[in-house]
Structures are given as structure tokens and as C-alpha cells.
Amino acid sequence: MSVNTEEELNRLVHQAIDSRLPGIGVEQRVLEHARERITREPAPRIPWMPLGRGVGGAFIALAVIALLGGALGLTLSLRNHSTSAPAKTALPILPTSPPATPPVVVPPTAAPSTALVFTPTAVSFATASDGWTIGQVCNPSTCALAVYRTTDAGTRWMPVHFSAKVDLGNATLNIRAASSADVWIWGASDGHGLLVATHNGGVSWQSMAVGNALVADVELAQGTAWAVTTCSIPKPCTATLFSQPVGGGAWSDLGALPAAVGAPIDNNSTIPLAQLVRIGDDAWILDANQQGPALVRSQNNGRTWMSLPLPCTVGATAILGASSPDHVMLACGNEGAFPAPQEVWTSSDGGSKWILRSREGYNSGFSPPAANVGSIDSGGAPIGLAVLSTTTAWMANDREDDLVTHDGGATWIHAALPPDSFGGGGGAEGIGFVDSQHGWTFVPGGIWTTSDGGTTWHLLPGITVPAA
């Protein structure tokens, strides 16, 4: 509807004013007042209404009707009076409206800060449900150490207070869980050994002084946690075993280890490479020092030790795994370049004799191809082993997917994991199993678990940290 002529305007006024009261001069005064208002004040826009043809005129008509409010009020007050010549009546005095209450200005709510993401650097599950992880939470300027635990297989993670002082820029830390309450964190921080434990789910932590030594590994068996130490060249020390009951208590010194595994680290790194493996009363310690690698074994819960042959070439890094006191597996790699020359060896007598099962690549010191030797099919380098039986073992690799063998190490196949998260993302950081069916592996981007022996893997929900 549009208003284009004075005739149309008059018609609208007639519709707005009761036709039964054509009071003398009322329409003229209203029309004149309306013309003045329209001329003086442009019609306001309706923000929610589109401006189209004809809409502007319709709104002017509505504005005119609104401007007639005072006149309409007066006119309606005369409904019951005679339409003959009107008597002079004093206009009523309208009450003064109270001043409008000033609007309350609500300051805009600040946009919530983006939640931070936790990056795991070590993971350990004690059971299929109870797990722990340690890692970092970083914003654009700083990083902080964080510890989390789960009791529902990783569906939810709860933050744990961690009181130890750690130099994040010069720290290498690991974690081992025995239950939802008992866990050990160890490693090196700024060249100093670190060994702490909690036995109440992280409410409090107990620290173990290790002198000049660096803590290289912690393993559980026979109701105890063992910690093996090693040395660095600038800080000579004696490699030692420490023991603590799994449920907590005083640490005891089990004594010095054989000199073969007490040599200082000499691999252009401060990362301890000594590894501890325990199966019942049997234990193995592998010192992967590149200048003097050695392997020793105890069959009486650490009271005495004997040296074993180590088939890996000097200069190679090595990792060890065992599924029983007899069945042991060894993976070696030369990480000068990728793909690294690699070998997998197995023993059926606890490490006294070794058989080469598979290999990849070849250079001086590594075994040449042979008809009875299988393929590892790896473009990376082995960094972790989880040996489940004489036939099945899992391997974590640097710059490569996780691998699995089901024939004792002769052939290896790539695990059912997204290649962009593992091989394409720098490789796994670690792998472990609590039994033949339940295991985990992780990369900085997340933690994966399996409940069917590795046939399928599932990415756990990420751990997000509310911004401060």
C-alpha cells in the first residue's frame, strides 16, 4: 500500500477517526499536524523488513495513524455524546509520564579462550581399564608438564597433581603403571636423574635420590618395581638396581650391576639406553651404549648375573622383549639414515643362542640377504617391542607404522593403523600390551587402543585442557 495523493491521505484519516464523529475542524487539524510531522521527521525504517516497492508508502500510512493517537483518544471519549453542535468542553489534563528508566548496559562477554590440547610423551596401562599418561600442554608462549589417568579405558582422563620440578627443555621422562593408584615416573631432567612414585593416585609423590646416576628404565614383576640406573660420561657413577614394593614402601638398593652394563652413555645423547625386562624371577638388562653394548641375565631375582652374547653389530641401537624365561626377541637398527638397516633375532633358551629371523637393508656389520631370512618390510627403525608369545610380537618404529609378526619374527606386516598418524606422522612413540588382546600405542597426536589383539585399533578421545 502507498500514499501518493492528499486524497488517499484523507481517506486513511477517515478510516482512523470514527466516521460517526466528523467533528468540525478535527480532521483538518489532524491532517495538518500529520503533514508537518511527516515533512519534519522522515519515516523510520523497520530493520527486520525488506525495503521493496510499495512498502514505504504503507509504512507512511501506519505512521500517520500512529500520529493520530492523541486525536483518537479524544475522539473516542466523545462516542456517547450527541452529534449535534458540540458544547465547548475543557480538554482533560493528562498525567505526566514518569521518565523512562535508563537501559542497563551489559558489557559484552569476553569470548572464551581456546582450550589447550595435551600431547602425550609416554603412556602406560596397568589393566585394560586403568591407564596413565604424561606429556605437555602448550600455549603459544609456554609449555607445562601434565599427568593424567583413566579408569575407563581412556574414555575420560582425569588430571593428576605432579609436584616434581622438571626442566621441560632438557627432560626425557617415561611412566609405568601398576594400578589406578600406583605409578612411577622416571628419566633425566637437565642431566639429573629423576625417580618419583605415587601410591594414592597422585595425591602425593615420593622421590628417590639416585645420586649422579640417570634412571633408565622401570619394570614390574613379582610384586616389586625395579629401577635400573646408568651413567653419563660427565658424571661417573655405578649402575645400580633399586627395588620398591608395588604398593609402596621404602626403596632398597639391590647392589651394583656387572661392569658390562655399567659403562657410561656414549651415543651423542643424554638419553639413557639401558633397558630392563622382567619375567617372574628372570630379568635381562640390555645396555645399548653404542661404543660397548652388552646384555646380562639373572635367573634368581637379581642376586647374580651372567653375560650373554649380543648379536647386534657395534654401533647399532637395540631393543629387547620376552614372552617367557626362554623366548626372547631382539631388534637392532642402525639409524644413520632412513630406511635404517635392521635385524630381528630370536632365542629359545633365554638369550644364550640367537637365530636371525628377518632383516631389512644392508651395510657393513649387518647380515647380508639369505634364503632362510625373512623381511621386516620397514622403512624406519625399531624403537619398541611387545612380545606376546613365541609367534606374535608387535614393533613400534621411528618414522614408520607399527608392525606385527605372527610367525615368530620371520615376516612382519603393517598394523591396521592410519598411515598419516603413524608412518606419515613420524612413527609411533611407544607400544605395549597388558594381555594378548588389550594393548595401546601412541603418537603426539593421540592414543590408540585395541581390545581384539590388534585386529582393530580405536583412537581415544583427545585430552583437552581448559584455558586459564
- What residue ranges do the domains of the chain occupy? 6-76
**Does the pLDDT at position 330 exceed 50?**
yes
More confident residue, 380 or 329: 329
How far is it, in rounded angstroms, from Cα 284 to Cα 235? 25
Q: Would you say residue 197 has pLDDT above 60?
A: yes
Q: What is the mean pLDDT of residues 157-186?
A: 91
d(CA 267, CA 316): 10
Tens digit of each residue's pLDDT (9 = 90 or more) over 253-297: 998 888 888 777 665 555 567 899 999 999 999 987 766 788 999
Nearest to 122 by CA among 138, 135, 111: 135
pLDDT given at position 62: 34
Q: What's the confidence (pLDDT) of residue 464?
A: 84
Nearest residue to 213 (alpha-carbon basis) of 236, 197, 190: 236
The answer to whether residue 305 scores a pLDDT higher than 50 is yes
Over the stretch 130-168, which tens digit does the pLDDT of each residue have?
999 999 998 888 888 999 999 999 999 999 999 888 888
Coil, strand, or helix at residue 200?
A: coil
Q: What is the mean pLDDT of the chain?
A: 77
Euclidean distance between the first and the last CA atom of the chain, given in angstroms as a whole number: 58
pTM of the model: 0.73
**Cell triple for 314:** 657395534
The answer to whether the CB of 13 falls within 8 A of the CB of 64 is yes
Q: 430 forms bridges with which residues in the sheet?
A: 442
Q: What is the pLDDT of residue 12?
A: 53
List beta partners, residue 113: none
Residue, of 392 and 336, whose pLDDT is higher = 392
User: What is the pLDDT, as a whole number, of residue 293?
Assistant: 80
Cell output for 62: 501506519
With cell 528508566, the residue in question is: 101
Task: Name the band, by pLDDT with cuts 50, 70 and 90, for residue 238.
Answer: confident
pLDDT for residue 328: 98
Per residue in 69-110, pLDDT (tens digit) is 443 333 333 333 333 334 444 444 434 445 555 545 444 444
Q: Which of 8-17, 66-75, 227-236, 452-461 has the lowest mean pLDDT?
A: 66-75
Say how many CA atoms lie within 13 Å of 205 toward its Cβ.
18
Question: Got the DSSP string for 103-140?
Answer: PP-PPPPPPPPPPEEEEEEEEEESSSS-EEEEEEEE-S
DSSP calls for 215-232: EEEEEEETTEEEEEEE-B
Whether residue 18 has pLDDT greater than 70:
no
pLDDT band of residue 56 (cuts 50, 70, 90) is very low
Residue type, 168: L
Distance CA 397, CA 135 (A): 20
- Residue 19 vs residue 227, higher pLDDT: 227
Asked if residue 161 lies in contact with residue 201, where contact means CB atoms within 8 angstroms, the answer is no
Q: How far apart are CA 376 and CA 342, in angstroms?
A: 8
Predicted confidence (pLDDT) per residue in 100-120, tens digit: 555 454 444 444 567 788 999
